[in-house]
Amino acid sequence: MDAAVVRVVDDEPNIAELLTDALEVSGFRVRTAASGTRAPEHVGRDRPDIVLLDVMLPDLDGFAVAQRLRPDPRPEGEVPRRPAGDVITGLGRPRRWPR
């Protein structure tokens, strides 16, 4: 059985590398992209099983990328979110993402 392919879209090289390492150790094949505007092209070409999007990409945020990917029948699923909003912890104080 082939390993599932994950497309990681993040402009921060350290975060992309951390995600890549963790996913590869878990048996996934990982492809990365640093640009939100180019992400739909990469996804269309590679046909990953799942796409992990940074919501704060500088050129096109992850929500806009997700909207561009939505018409494609292959990427399915939901964006995991907590009702109280998304929170990042472990990097200092918790930070709430703007809506």
pLDDT confidence of residue 91: 43
Q: Report pTM.
A: 0.69
Please answer whether residues 62 and 54 qualify as being in contact, where contact means their C-beta atoms are separated by less than 8 angstroms.
Answer: yes
Q: Give the integer Cα–Cα distance in Å for 81 and 85.
A: 7
Domain count, the chain: 1
Q: 94 lies in a domain?
A: no
Q: Does residue 76 have a pLDDT over 80? A: no
Q: 90 lies in a domain?
A: no
Q: 50 lies in a domain?
A: yes
Q: 61 lies in a domain?
A: yes
Confidence class of residue 46 from pLDDT cuts 50, 70 and 90? confident
66/84: higher pLDDT: 66
Q: How is the chain split among helix, strand and coil, in percent rounded to 5?
A: 30, 20, 55
